[in-house]
Structure 1
Amino acid sequence: MLKKRTLTLWLLLMGLVTVGTLTSRTQTAQAADTWQNAVVTLGTTLTDSQKQGTIDTLTKNLSDSSDYQTLTVTGDTLVTYLNPSGSSFTSSSNVWSSAAIEKTSSGSGINVQILPYNGKNNITTITEDQYKNAALTAGVSDANIYVTSAVPIDGSGALAGVYAAFAQNGANLNQKQVNAAQNEINTLSDITDANKDKDGYTDEQLNNAVAGAKTQMAKEGTNISTGDITTIVNNQIEKNNLQNVITNNQKQQIVNLLVEVRDSGALSSSDFKAQAKKLSTDIVANAKDIFNKLDTQENRNFFQQLWTNVKNFFTNLFG
């Protein structure tokens, strides 16, 4: 009888522990997943009229244009997220560029669109693909990000707003990764600016090379050597037909930024490789007219395989 009571008591305790564990896990998951609706970040310098114009511009593409939070991005926001990477913003810095961020289903990747304000693209420096690569490095995953500005500006405020929006929703991004992302923005922007008038160069090719390099780095893991990163960069530059455009100095800058990405801890994320691969796929898909014309080994292999398949078809048909 005593044994039976002891067994019953033991089973009851185990049941309580199991229920407690499941409840704890459920609560933890709910606490981590606080992103209920989109976030619209608004630069603190915007006038009331510009704020409304910015909201109208940013929310029109949201899955629910009437359900969103707002977050004001101030000079302090810039100081918090951008100064650790070397920027020199102050609490009184002006902020105009703004963003809307909504989380999307797992595996959908990072989508960025720069939206014109009153018919004009006022983001003067950062491109859509540069935003995507920076967001990936910072630890962002599966999100639609819309960016605009009421006045011509480089677009840094919008990116700081993205970081702040994730923090507001319980996903504080690793500052080392944010620093690497900011240095990446600066590096890629400078390279694109230096090569913008050269034949055979586009920002899409550069960002696809960097996204491809990140994918390969993630496959190798967190202990990948600087030498291996250099080899990967060389391969990606050639794959994207930039070997006759990118200078050795620019190539070294890319290697340096990817070493910083490695050292930031970004590669330890299970999402990083999948997000990087999706990013590369999306860049190519969105710029088919550019990538279809590239005289790369990959394209040559594709057409050779296509011709081989055609020959095999007719051989089998009439053979």
Structure 2
Amino acid sequence: MKILNKLLLITTMFIFMIAPTIKAHAVTQEAWSEAVTVYGAALEQNNSLQEKTKSLLNTDDSDKIAYVHANDLTKYLNLQSNDSVLKSSIRIKKLAAGDGLTLNINQSAGKITKITEDTYKNALLTAGVTDAEVTIAAAEDVTGESALAGVYKAFEAQGETINPTQTQAAQNELNSISNINAENAGKNGYSQEQLNKAIAEAKAEIAKQGANLNTTEIKNIVVQKIENNGLTNVINDNQINIIVNFITNAQNSGVFSGENKDKFINSAKDYVNEIKNSDGFKHAADKAKDMGKNIKDSLEKEGVWEKFMNFIQSIIDAIMGLFK
């Protein structure tokens, strides 16, 4: 037992010694050295509007600069538009793997009238953007539907490839959630936070189960997460089918499988924790309790302890190998 305790102590010290090295290596290999600011095409010839938006985004002079045009909306989002109305802009800095996704919508000058922050995050995760700092802003009121195209254009500016199939799946998800939010606005027992949490948990569970599920299996998971988040008898059958449809499309585009799987699950967990800490969700949870419902934490921690112990055991084995 004393030997085990000593080995655990050595292991702990070893972890603390190598952690900074691992982190620095990850930053060098995976993070961007500079941020990218992507303006809507309407700002390309409007210096006054661009300067105002630059201030809203806190753009640095060292940022790479790009513009979102109507053909980018078609390419990434399968949407039709024209350059003159594209005014929402984004600033994005890719971070090291595991740092997570943070998103800020600066509405001090212009309002994003349709798309919520949580809905953007859910869609960004679906598109595979999991480790980044993203700021969205506009100098005038806009619906905000074109902002995702700017995120994808930023990755393109840095020489990284974004899968258009996944981005269109993300846009489909974004539009679908927005419509469901509108249909349930003001309905007793409903909040956007509850829905976004349920959807994120459903996607994480699908990834966890191997991302090769049929429609019935996906629907069962969605229904369970809807129930866990106090939305039974609030979200109707048609809305459930819409959710199942866009999650199935995301699964088929490869969002939850392969090398994306663990990254997606971890990012979804971080995102769910952010929702749970928000004032909107806390209010929704209190409201659900008043209605005799209980919102559950559906992102199970199964396997976390086993993985940790396996990791510890692997290091102990390595240390024992050195002694041998």
Name the TM tier (shorter chain).
Answer: 0.7 to 0.9
Matching residue within 276, 283, 293 for 1:290: 283
Q: Distance in 1 between matches of 2:297 and 2:113?
A: 36
Unmatched runs of 5 consecutive residues or more in structure 1: 1-28, 302-319
Aligned partner of 2:65 in structure 1 is 70
Please state how far the C-alpha of 1:222 moved relative to its aligned partner.
Answer: 2.3
Q: What does residue range 50-199 of structure 1 map to in structure 2 within 5 Å?
A: 50-59=49-58, 65-83=60-78, 87-90=79-82, 92=83, 94-118=85-109, 120=110, 122-199=111-188
Please state how far the C-alpha of 1:108 moved relative to its aligned partner.
Answer: 2.6
Taking every aligned residue pair, what percent have the same amino acid on both sides? 38
Q: Distance in 2 between matches of 1:31 and 1:94?
A: 38
Q: Say if 2:273 is the partner of 1:276.
A: no
- Per-residue CA deviations over 1:68-96 (Å, capped at 9, x if unaligned) read 2211111222222122xxx2235x45310
| Kept after mapping to 1: 8 A contact 2:88/2:144 | yes
Q: Distance in 1 between matches of 2:108 and 2:66?
A: 19
Distance 1:159 1:298, change over 3 A: closer
Matching residue within 211, 217, 222 for 1:228: 217
For these two proteins, the number of residue pairs brought into alignment is 263
Please state how far the C-alpha of 1:31 moved relative to its aligned partner.
Answer: 11
TM-score by length of 1: 0.76
Unmatched runs of 5 consecutive residues or more in structure 2: 1-25, 299-324
Please state how far the C-alpha of 1:123 moved relative to its aligned partner.
Answer: 0.8
Please state how far the C-alpha of 1:141 moved relative to its aligned partner.
Answer: 1.4
Aligned partner of 1:12 in structure 2 is none
Larger-Rg structure:
1
SS at structure 2 position matched to 1:156: coil
- Per-residue CA deviations over 1:176-211 (Å, capped at 9, x if unaligned) read 111110100110000001111212211111111110
TM-score by length of 2: 0.75
* Deviating more after overlay: 255-264 vs 291-300: 291-300
Q: Distance in 2 between matches of 1:145 and 1:117?
A: 16
The amino acid that maps onto 1:154 is T
| Kept after mapping to 2: 8 A contact 1:75/1:94 | no
Aligned residues: CA RMSD: 2.4
The amino acid that maps onto 1:89 is S
Please state how far the C-alpha of 1:257 moved relative to its aligned partner.
Answer: 0.9
